[in-house]
Amino acid sequence: MIVGESGLGKSTLINTLFNAPIAPTRDTPKEAVNSDASKAVEINSFTADLEENGVRLRLTVIDTPGFGDFINNTEAHKPILKSIEERYEQYLEQESRVGRKNITDNRVHACIYFVAPTGHSLKQLDVAFMKELGTKVNLIPVIAKSDILTENEVADFKERILADIKANNIQIYYPSVHENDDPETVQEIKSIISRIPFAVVGSMQTFENPPGSGVHVRGRKYPWGLIEVDNESHCDFVKLRQMLIRSHMEELKEHTTDVLYESHRSLKLGEGFGVANTNPAKFEEEKRAHVTKMAKMEAEMKAVFQQKVAEKEKKLKQSEEEVTLIQENETQTNKKEKKKPKKRKLYSRHREMKQQLEQQRLDLEERKKRLLGGTATAARNLAGTPTQQKKGLFK
């Protein structure tokens, strides 16, 4: 959403951000002055499908022509506030349905508020709008057409704007620094925060700079020089684009969902203005369809459950029979195993007795040999003894 007085370059900045003709611009001064044609702030939406490096983005831009263009602007913020709340209500209605698969998110995730480059401070209109919408949407203040101010004037103007925001307790969006962010990311986030409110310049025109170099840049050309849109030393456009499109697009959506929308939802449900009261006939129809669907699902689940129970009982009976058979086999096996040790024991004793008898036999054989050998020796000794004695006697 873009909000600001006419002639501050809102549509031009949006087209410059996405480098595409998304929002229509006013070509003639007659079209710019529309206070006679309309006495209320209009809400116009433009949707475009963008693609860059294979990444597709569906962008919806909400313009608010007529804001701040009237003599009495005390209620200029109300149509815008109503539009934001209606979008929350639409999302709440979708979220409260029985079927919530295909929810269209048309909530406003960012509101760029254009401050006129007066160089002084915020107007009463600025304060009233920002104070009312700061709690409803991610509010991002920018200094429009900052190229008409010098660098010192821009710096002083930023300080005054921030002072007015703090004095009036206005809530604006600041990028968050998380604990798991690396030092480079933290430094980049701090750099973005230091540029708030963003001093921006928008232009779709390109110029060759420097002349004859063949390099073309987007900018605004003046007799005294060229203001480059994508040059950080000239304006804060690059930081604004980085925050909106590259680094904090998802964070903006998360903050809308978790904080802003949740606050609106809790308030509405707490007050009893739920979706059921806004369209009871539709809710009752969906409720009946849901009850019928649930009854059918319950019957199917009951049939499946009974079938599963029958299958389980059959398997359990088979398992019990198998267990009984296994137990019988184990009993028979145990009986056989008990008999085996006795046979083994008898065999061992038989083998030991056989070994003992064999050893005894060998011992007897050995003794027999010794006895037979001893008898022969004794006989020989008896036969030779007398002759020897006689020789000795005669001598």
pLDDT tens for the chain, 395 residues long, are 999 998 898 989 998 988 888 888 765 444 444 444 455 788 888 888 877 777 788 888 999 888 888 888 888 888 999 999 999 999 988 888 877 778 888 999 999 999 999 988 899 999 999 999 999 999 999 999 999 999 999 999 999 999 999 999 999 999 988 888 889 999 999 999 999 999 999 998 899 888 888 889 999 998 888 999 999 999 999 999 999 988 899 999 999 999 999 988 888 887 654 444 445 566 667 777 778 888 888 888 888 878 877 887 788 888 778 778 887 777 777 666 655 555 556 667 767 777 777 787 787 777 777 777 665 555 555 555 444 444 443 44
The pLDDT, as a whole number, for residue 31 is: 45
List phi, psi (to 5°) of 180: -90, 5
Q: Cα 290 from chain centroid?
A: 31
Separation of alpha carbons 231 and 220, rounded Å:
12
Residue 289: Cβ within 10 Å count: 12
Q: How far is CA 345 from the centre of its chain?
A: 74
Given a contact cutoff of 8 angstroms between Cβ atoms, the answer to whether 142 and 17 are in contact is no
Q: How far apart are CA 73 and CA 36, in angstroms?
A: 15
Q: Which residues pair with 59 in a beta bridge?
A: 48
Separation between Cα atoms, residue 147 and residue 145, nearest integer Å: 5
- DSSP three-state, residue 221: strand
Strand order in the sheet with 44-52: 44-52, 55-63, 2-3, 111-115, 139-143, 198-199
- CA-wise closest residue to 60 among 257, 253, 251: 253
The pLDDT assigned to 34 comes to 45
Distance CA 343, CA 382 (A): 59
**Total Cβ atoms within 10 A of residue 210:** 9
Separation CA 393–CA 34 (nearest Å): 180
Q: Which of 18, 72, 4 is CA-nearest to residue 46?
A: 18
Q: Which of 89, 80, 44 is nearest to 63 (CA)?
A: 44
pLDDT computed for residue 338 by the predictor: 59
Count of CA atoms in the C-beta half-sphere (13 A) of 384? 6
Burial of 301 per CB tally in 10 Å (0-12, 13-18, 19+): exposed
Determine the Cα–Cα distance for residues 123 and 131; give it in Å rounded to an integer: 12
CB of 142 within 8 A of CB of 112? yes
Q: Which residue has the tokens 């928008």?
A: 202
Please check whether residue 25 is in contact with residue 12, taking contact to mean a CB–CB distance below 8 angstroms.
yes
CA–CA distance, 366 with 146 (Å, rounded to integer) = 131
Q: Is this model's pTM higher than 0.95 or not?
A: no
Residue with tokens 């779709």: 204
Nearest in space to 61 (alpha carbons), one of 80, 40, 43, 85? 43
How far apart (Å, rounded) are the C-alpha atoms in residues 14 and 244? Answer: 11
**Among the listed residues 129, 127, 201, the one whose alpha carbon sits nearest the alpha carbon of residue 167:** 127
- What pLDDT does residue 343 have? 54
What letters, b where the CB count within 10 A reaches 16 and e where it falls short, cover 220-258? beeeeebbbbebeebbbbbbbbbbbeebbeebbeebbee
Strands 44-52 and 139-143, bridge-based pairing = unpaired
119, 157 Cβ separation under 8 angstroms: yes
List own/partner pairs for 381-384 with CB under 8 A and 24 or more apart: none
Tokens 């008999």 belong to residue: 339
